[in-house]
Structure 1
Amino acid sequence: MAEIKKSNPEDHEILTDITKKSKAYWGYSVEQMKEWSDLLTITKNYIEMNSVYKLSINNSTIGYYSYFNLDENTVKLDNLFVLPNYIGDGFGKMLMNDFLDKIKTTNAEKIILDSEPNAEKFYEKFGFTKVGQIETAINNRFLPIMELKL
């Protein structure tokens, strides 16, 4: 049975593992993944300072999301990752719906995120629209900046 609950700092290693494996799913080179290693590392401090929720099946963590408030009206969805073996099975949707349900109980007026380019269509299914882009360290690669007005 799938269960979503708040992460604790001891989850940092498994969440980092999920992040790196999920990112690698999109075919980035080993060299690129090494270059991004620090950016894809989830620390104990990060879990303590942000809202982080993990998805477990039979006590095994397979995905998570994290967010924080940018200001009183804006929430930033910082991470949403699922292990590659579970991509396409509805677990990303389960995480996103849980996140949206939580945010709808707050005073937030919009959610923003920087999307993995390959995940842009996933976020569009939930009503997010592209409002800009950020150039990355990879030549001619841009992260879509997406927004959902609540």
Structure 2
Amino acid sequence: MTIEKASIKDSEILTEITKKSKAFWGYDEVQMEIWAEVLTITKEYIETQQVYKLINANQIAGYYSYLTEDGDIVKLDNLFVSPEYIGKGFGRLLMDDFLLRIKNTNAKKVILDSEPNAESFYSKFGFEKTGQLETSIKDRYLPVMELNINV
């Protein structure tokens, strides 16, 4: 397995992974259609953000992306694994790579808006819930989480 920078030609497969991984948590087709645009990883996004893909057996198995919000704050924007790899350590590989990568920068804090079903995953890496964002689904909130690093 390797993790390497994604290229614009990966946009369709990254979008497919994002949508399938999100649907894994039981969201219906109507909700997935509502989210279609925000779950699309465009070529422009790949060109302008830091996007890294995990390759397993010559196939993209997952990816993560991040952006710098402020000089010392990094936002983990996406971390998705193909459903067939969920629960098999692939997410951990991606998160370990991400944290190692940003520890070599001036970042002091990582922030993210978590899928509610993934909150415990991020907690295992030391992220703490600092708030929540209301979503378009009644009584569903995204945990806002952060992790202090390089302090």
The Cα shift of 1:59 comes to 1.3
Letter in 2 for 1:136: T
- After superposing on structure 2, the runs of 4+ consecutive aligned residues of structure 1 that deviate more than 3 Å are none
Q: Return the alpha-carbon distance in structure 1 between the equivalents of residues 38 and 69 of structure 2.
A: 19
Match of 1:50 in 2: 49
Q: Percent identity between the aligned chains?
A: 62
Match of 1:76 in 2: 75
The Cα shift of 1:27 comes to 0.2
- Using the size of structure 2 for normalisation, the TM-score is 0.98
Q: Return the alpha-carbon distance in structure 2 between the equivalents of residues 130 and 37 of structure 1.
A: 27
Match of 1:100 in 2: 99
Letter in 1 for 2:39: L
Letter in 1 for 2:59: S
Number of equivalent positions: 149
Deviation string, structure 1 residues 71-93 (Cα, Å, up to 9, x no partner): 11100000000000000110000
Q: Which residues in structure 2 correspond to 1:136-147 (within 5 Å)?
A: 136-147=135-146
The Cα shift of 1:147 comes to 0.1
Match of 1:41 in 2: 40
Deviation string, structure 1 residues 66-113 (Cα, Å, up to 9, x no partner): 000001110000000000000011000000000000000001000000
Match of 2:11 in 1: 12
Q: Return the alpha-carbon distance in structure 1 between the equivalents of residues 92 and 14 of structure 2.
A: 18
- Using the size of structure 1 for normalisation, the TM-score is 0.99
Q: CA RMSD in A?
A: 0.4
Match of 1:32 in 2: 31
Match of 1:116 in 2: 115
Deviation string, structure 1 residues 29-84 (Cα, Å, up to 9, x no partner): 11000110001000000000100000011210010000000011100000000000
Q: Return the alpha-carbon distance in structure 1 between the equivalents of residues 8 and 130 of structure 2.
A: 33
Q: Return the alpha-carbon distance in structure 1 between the equivalents of residues 85 and 104 of structure 2.
A: 28
Letter in 1 for 2:18: T
